[in-house]
Amino acid sequence: MLRTTGLVERPGLFEREAGLVRNLIRQVNPDGGFYKYPGSPSSRNFTRVALLALRMVTGQLPSKNRPLSWSRSNPAIDEALMRNIGIIQERAQRFLRGRRWRSDWAFDREFLLPARILTAYAKEKRIFFPPILITPSFLLWANRSSRGAAALSQVNTILRKMLPAFSILSHGILAGHPLSGLILRRRGKLHEPSLKGMARYLLSQQNGTGGWFYNVPYTITNIMALIEAGIPTDHPAILRAMAYLEGNLSPDGSGGFKLNTMNADIWDTGLAIGSYLAIPDRSSNDKEIRESVEFLLDSQHADGSYAWESNSHNDADNDSTAHAVHSLALASRTADAGLLERIGPAVRKGLDYLLSHQTRSGGFSVWQATSIRSRPGSMALWKQFFFDIPSIDVTARVLSALADSGLSVRDEAVANALQFLIKNQSLNGGWWCRWWAGYVPGTCYVLEALGKLGFRFAKSAPNPGSRYLHVREALLKGARFLLRHQNRDGGWGETVKADSSMSYAGVGDSRPLQTAFVISSLLGCGFPADAPEIGRALAYLLSVATPDGRWEDDQVTFSFFSRILYYRYPLTNYILPLDALSAYLRFPAHLLNGHGGRKVFLGLRSVAGIGDKK
């Protein structure tokens, strides 16, 4: 982006670029290809873009018809780094010349459009795009027209956020190709007013943070698109966007720089508040957490919604809103009168927003409702990419927020959400998780929500005439799914393979995150705390803690698109194990006499600094 916009010429940015290069050349697998995230196969499309970037920073691109900044060798790159870049380039070229398997193509699909546009935008070659749905004039019409808006309402927000910038960037590519250029000229779809109109639309979507869609890659692409559309580099929107990128730039610990992909301060704060308040004897009035509660209150949008990142009023979503409402509802239980006076209206506004976004099926999507449905189990990529389909984990998180806010099974919205969850339970007894790989996390979210609504795990059969017998049966199936997959060392684990095949559901080496989540969800739905399964799980969790009281889990299992693109969420390494231990500590000591439970209980209370209560 710095190269193609000319912004790299600003003072100090060549040094930053060299740091980014040092980080980039470490993202290489043994086969020579670049990976999208640690542990993933090499991506051919990402490798092509990485090679293009390395050619630009080392002055290997021809300078014909390009600004000087595109082809100027970075003066901050020393000889040693230049030699290393050459080695990496040679290995990557060998990887690209290798045989291409269909599985590689499937893994690369979500990066295909950005890779082709960015490669063509650098004028490496002219490629053909069908001039449908991507031309600036069409998108401008779709955003302004009631008919167009109705059509786009079914399209996933992720795709709708991508298309405007890619549409502008493809402008020159389409015009330069003989066939597409001829079609566009004859149809009159390619003209300057469309570019300016789409640029104005992008400027209107910029958030108060300076970025777009609480997301660094989208922000970078939008900067490129705005400059391509004629917006000067000293425009206030460009300056704010650059400041946003600078704020997400951080040292990688090895002499380089990395760009954080996303900023999730709303989500992170909600996680921290919920985990803190789960510890016995903690209160929302405590100095350590009160400011965090007030931060959430100050970050709520006028309609009651929240986005993943604060000051992102254009990008509210149901999931972040539910997470914030859940945390505020927990804080209200121990808040003083002054704080409670603010929390009450915020929770009510958040609930109104959530209830207005429930789909006809009873489930909840992340952004907007859709009429497209999905069967239980892993979702096809085209459905993930094109439609925001209601998912198990989002619905369960919203249901937990509704329950913590005082709603019950007697409320229609809760009953409909329950019906959605039961209908989408998998044959193995678990629930597939859209935004976290596999079935263990989805099952934990559902059990947690059912426990908050009063459904309990019990060995004795309930009244056969009970109206919610099927819900309790689903709870038992889910709990048995988890118990069936406990490892011999007491922990639980699952890998991204579970998204590709149900045979891998619940299968994997023990990991702190999955183990902690299972402990807290089982205890939350009434599973006995003195059961041997809980004792062994706690023993595993304590055995893998670091000496300073943390847990490390380097698995990349949080999903952006299941089966092809995942990411890490480091804060969960601190939050989920703490939640599990807190859930165990909330049980009275005299109920934990069996299986060494009392010894573990008293030891944990001592470590946590919690005094015994009579």
Domain boundaries, the chain: 1-125, 126-263, 264-357, 358-608
**pLDDT at residue 419 above 90?**
yes
| Residue predicted with more confidence, 374 or 55 | 55
Confidence of residue 188 (pLDDT cuts 50, 70, 90): low
Note the pLDDT of residue 7: 83
State the number of CA atoms in the 13 A half-sphere of 171 facing the CB: 26
126-263 shares its CATH topology with 358-608: yes
Lowest mean pLDDT segment, chosen from 42-51, 83-92, 264-273: 42-51
What type of residue is 308? W
- Show Cβ contacts of residue 589 under 8 Å, excluding neighbours closer than 6 positions: 598, 601, 602, 612
Grouping H, G, I as helix, E, B as strand and the rest as coil, residue 568 is coil
User: Which range is most confident: 77-91, 100-114, 147-161, 360-374?
Assistant: 77-91
Note the pLDDT of residue 260: 84
Tokens, residue 473: 């049966």
Give the integer Cα–Cα distance in Å for 536 and 489. Answer: 7
Note the pLDDT of residue 181: 59
Lowest mean pLDDT segment, chosen from 7-11, 290-294, 407-411: 7-11
Lowest mean pLDDT segment, chosen from 13-27, 94-108, 569-583: 94-108
Note the pLDDT of residue 537: 95
Scan for tokens 């009953």, then name that residue.
415
**pLDDT at residue 186 above 70?**
no
Tokens, residue 494: 């699952």
Lowest mean pLDDT segment, chosen from 123-137, 239-253, 275-289, 426-440: 123-137
- Region for 555 from its dihedrals, namely left if φ exceeds 0, alpha if ψ lies in -120 to 50, beta otherwise: beta
**pLDDT at residue 363 above 70?**
yes
Contact status, residue 225 vs residue 165, Cβ threshold 8 Å: yes
Q: What is the mean pLDDT of the chain?
A: 85
Q: Which residues pair with 250 in a beta bridge?
A: 258
What type of residue is 337? A
Angle at 113 between CA 111 and CA 115, to 5 degrees: 65
What number is the average pLDDT over the span 564-570?
87
Confidence of residue 598 (pLDDT cuts 50, 70, 90): very low
| Residue predicted with more confidence, 595 or 337 | 337
Q: Which residues of 56-85 are buried (b: 16+ CB within 10 A; e: fewer)?
A: bbbeebeeeeeeebbbbebebbeeebeebb
Angle at 295 between CA 572 and CA 248, to 5 degrees: 60
DSSP state of 463: -
What number is the average pLDDT over the span 41-52?
89
Lowest mean pLDDT segment, chosen from 84-93, 321-330, 582-591: 582-591
**pLDDT at residue 590 above 50?**
no
Note the pLDDT of residue 187: 55
- The topology (CATH level 3) of 358-608 is Glycosyltransferase (1.50.10)
Angle between the N-to-C axes of helices 236-247 and 216-228, in degrees from 0 to 180, rounded to the nearest 10: 150
Note the pLDDT of residue 425: 95
**pLDDT at residue 129 above 80?**
no
Measured CA distances, 32 to 87, 94, 456, 535, 567 (Å) = 10, 7, 52, 45, 21
Element (H, E) at 369: none
Question: Nearest-CA neighbor of 268 among 295, 249, 248?
Answer: 295
Contact status, residue 602 vs residue 538, Cβ threshold 8 Å: no
**pLDDT at residue 206 above 80?**
yes
Question: Which CATH number is 126-263 given?
Answer: 1.50.10.20
Residue 43, judged by CB atoms within 10 A of its CB (0-12, 13-18, 19+), counts as buried
Measured CA distances, 606 to 191, 529, 597, 600, 613 (Å) = 71, 18, 14, 10, 13
Contact status, residue 396 vs residue 478, Cβ threshold 8 Å: no
Give the integer Cα–Cα distance in Å for 461 and 321. Answer: 37
**pLDDT at residue 47 above 50?**
yes
Q: Which residues pair with 565 in a beta bridge?
A: 561
What number is the average pLDDT over the span 179-195?
60
Give the integer Cα–Cα distance in Å for 470 and 112. Answer: 44
**pLDDT at residue 597 above 70?**
no
Note the pLDDT of residue 102: 52
Note the pLDDT of residue 610: 44
